[in-house]
Structure 1
Amino acid sequence: MIDVSDVRSADERIDGRIRRTPVLAAGPGLWFKLEHLQHAGSFKTRGMLNRIVDPPAAGIVAASGGNAGLAAAYAARELGAAAEVFLPVTAPAVKVAKLGELGARVVLEGGEYAEAYAAATVRAAQTGALFCHAYDDSAMVAGNGTIGLELLSQVPGGFDTVLVAVGGGGLLGGMVASLRGDARIVAVEPVTSSAFHAAQRAGHPVDVPVSGVAADALGARRIGDIAFELARDVPSVLVEDDAIVDARRRLWDDYRIVVEHGTAAAYAALLSKTYQPEPGERVVVLLCGANTDPADLTTARAHRPDSLQPS
Structure 2
Amino acid sequence: MTLLEHHDVEQAARRITGRVRPVTITPAQPTTTADGTPYELFFALEFMQHTGSFKARGAQSFLQAHLESGSLPDAGVTIASGGNAGLACAWAAGEQNVPATVFLPETAPAVKVDRLRGYGARVELVGQEYAEAAAACDRFAAESGALVSHAYDHPLIAAGAGTVLPEILTRVPDLDTVVVSVGGGGLFSGVTAAATRHGVRVVAVEPEHCRALHAGLAAGQPVDVAVDSVAADSLGARRASAMAVAAARSEHVDAVLVADADIIRARRELWEEHRLAVEYAAGAALAGVRAASAYVPSPGEKVAVILCGANTDVADLAAGRP
TM-score using structure 1 length: 0.91
Secondary structure, aligned partner of 2:22: coil
1:60 counterpart residue number: 77
- Provide the rounded CA distance (Å) in 2 between the counterparts of 1:110 and 1:239: 33
CA contact (8 A) 2:248 2:255 kept: no
Residues 60-92 of structure 1: per-residue CA shift (max 9 Å, x gap) = 111225000011011000010121222356756
1:50 counterpart residue number: 61
Counterpart pick for 1:101 among 114, 118, 127: 118
- Provide the rounded CA distance (Å) in 1 between the counterparts of 2:80 and 2:211: 20
1:243 counterpart residue number: 262
2:28 counterpart residue number: 26
* Amino acid of the structure 2 residue aligned with 1:13: R
- Provide the rounded CA distance (Å) in 1 between the counterparts of 2:126 and 2:209: 22
CA contact (8 A) 1:94 1:293 kept: no
Counterpart pick for 1:87 among 93, 97, 104: 104
Counterpart pick for 2:196 among 152, 177, 180: 180
CA contact (8 A) 1:70 1:99 kept: yes
Residues 205-231 of structure 1: per-residue CA shift (max 9 Å, x gap) = 100011221111111101011222223
1:16 counterpart residue number: 18
Pairing 1:100-249 to 2, within 5 Å after superposition: 100-109=117-126, 113-155=130-172, 158-181=174-197, 182-233=199-250, 234-249=253-268
- Provide the rounded CA distance (Å) in 1 between the counterparts of 2:80 and 2:158: 16
Instruction: Choose 182-191 or 100-109, whichever is displaced more.
Output: 100-109
- Provide the rounded CA distance (Å) in 2 between the counterparts of 1:62 and 1:267: 30
CA contact (8 A) 1:66 1:87 kept: no
- Provide the rounded CA distance (Å) in 2 between the counterparts of 1:263 and 1:92: 22
* Amino acid of the structure 2 residue aligned with 1:196: L
Report deviation, 1:108: 4.3
2:275 counterpart residue number: 256
Q: How many residues align?
A: 301
Report deviation, 1:102: 1.3
CA contact (8 A) 1:66 1:91 kept: no
TM-score using structure 2 length: 0.88
* Amino acid of the structure 1 residue aligned with 2:248: A
- Provide the rounded CA distance (Å) in 1 between the counterparts of 2:78 and 2:300: 46
- Structure 1 portions without partners, runs of 5+: 303-311
Secondary structure, aligned partner of 2:265: helix
Secondary structure, aligned partner of 1:46: helix
CA contact (8 A) 2:217 2:248 kept: no
- Provide the rounded CA distance (Å) in 2 between the counterparts of 1:164 and 1:107: 32
2:318 counterpart residue number: 298
Cα distance change of structure 1 residues 57 and 171 upon mapping to structure 2, 3 Å threshold = same
- Provide the rounded CA distance (Å) in 2 between the counterparts of 1:298 and 1:99: 26
- Provide the rounded CA distance (Å) in 2 between the counterparts of 1:273 and 1:91: 36
- Structure 2 portions without partners, runs of 5+: 31-39
Report deviation, 1:2: 2.2
2:86 counterpart residue number: 69
**Superposed CA RMSD:** 1.9
Residues 93-151 of structure 1: per-residue CA shift (max 9 Å, x gap) = 55443222212233345666555433322221222111001111111111111111111
CA contact (8 A) 1:36 1:259 kept: yes
1:306 counterpart residue number: none
Secondary structure, aligned partner of 1:180: helix
Report deviation, 1:289: 0.7
CA contact (8 A) 1:47 1:140 kept: yes
- Provide the rounded CA distance (Å) in 2 between the counterparts of 1:5 and 1:110: 40
* Amino acid of the structure 2 residue aligned with 1:289: G
Identity among equivalent pairs (%): 51
CA contact (8 A) 1:86 1:116 kept: yes
* Amino acid of the structure 2 residue aligned with 1:47: G
CA contact (8 A) 1:94 1:291 kept: no
Report deviation, 1:45: 0.7
Q: Does 1:269 align with 2:271?
A: no
2:36 counterpart residue number: none
2:37 counterpart residue number: none
- Provide the rounded CA distance (Å) in 2 between the counterparts of 1:246 and 1:89: 33
- Provide the rounded CA distance (Å) in 1 between the counterparts of 2:19 and 2:290: 34
* Amino acid of the structure 1 residue aligned with 2:20: I
* Amino acid of the structure 2 residue aligned with 1:246: R
